[in-house]
Amino acid sequence: MSLSYHFTVEQQVGSSTSAFFGFNGTAGVWRITALNESGGWNDQTTVEDLDVAVKSELPCSFNALRSQQHRWTCGPANLFRKMAGQIIRSENVSLWKKLYMLYSFFFMRKVVAHILTFCFYCVILPATVLFPEVTVPKWAAFYLPALITLFIAIGKPRSVYLLVLWVLFENAMSMLRTKALVMGLFETGRVQEWVVTEKLGDGLKTKLIGQVPNEHQVRFRDRVHLLELLLGVYLLFCGCYDIIYGKNTLYLYVYLLMQSTAFFVVGFGFVGK
């Protein structure tokens, strides 16, 4: 009865008022072995479904993470392409809700965010070293992004020491997300590819160890990601150019050299086991 009431309020009422609502996995079924191998759930919390869901979304390898991020970026972009026209033409949805759905939910969060991260920090900002007549305000290049990053880090004080590595890694992953975004918007390449993300949990330490794919058996050419390596070379060149010929006081070469290293690490597949 409670479950029926829950869905009636959340989904039926939401639909009847033309409000957008999210689908959830309430009453989903888990195998006991899968639950145990993911680490189980903590009985000290009242949100055991969230506790298990978070563990079930964590990939077991870097390649699994890449396929997951590709699907999570390509899918919404492709959905935006297919649903934008229907949302605009809908007569039961108010103009304000249409603007929110198209601009805030889809366009800004699923499209602009990925393109901005990649183009600004991995292409435009490094290019200012080669073209000194192009200037980027300090507040846009450093102050505002640093402030946003610190606000995110406040909620995870135990992981503050990983802050710099996290920023560099996210920038390196932005190329993958941008590529997936383009595929989704233009329906090209692997737009319809469905790859289930591997989550092995404690199976790496238990009897399932024989079934776990050995990352060291993966061929070297399958671990190499050419686009990331090319961008790493570009950032390395810009960093060295800034050291030799740079006349600005932003010390961009520090960021460029660190970011190029991150792209080389990702490009050669040295992330994870």
Residue 271's CB is within 10 A of a number of other CB atoms, namely: 18
Q: Which of 79, 98, 64, 59 is nearest to 192 (CA)?
A: 79
CA distances to 73, 96, 117, 134, 148 from 109, rounded to whole Å, are 10, 17, 12, 28, 15
For 92-144, how does the pLDDT look when each residue is reduced to its tens digit (9 = 90+)? 888 888 888 888 778 888 888 889 889 999 999 999 999 888 888 888 888 88
The pLDDT of 21-35, averaged and rounded, is 63
CA distances to 22, 48, 97, 165 from 7, rounded to whole Å, are 11, 19, 22, 41
For 154-172, how does the pLDDT look when each residue is reduced to its tens digit (9 = 90+)? 877 788 888 899 899 999 9
> Are the C-beta atoms of 229 and 264 separated by less than 8 Å?
yes
pLDDT given at position 203: 56
For 201-235, how does the pLDDT look when each residue is reduced to its tens digit (9 = 90+)? 555 555 554 554 554 455 666 678 999 999 999 99
CA distances to 100, 112, 218 from 78, rounded to whole Å, are 18, 14, 31
Residue entry with tokens 């935006």: 80
Question: What percentage of the chain exceeds 70 in pLDDT?
Answer: 70
pTM of the model: 0.74
Residue 172's CB is within 10 A of a number of other CB atoms, namely: 25
Question: What confidence tier does 51 reach under pLDDT thresholds 50, 70, 90?
Answer: low
Dihedral of the alpha carbons of 85, 88, 91, 94, in degrees to the nearest 10: 150
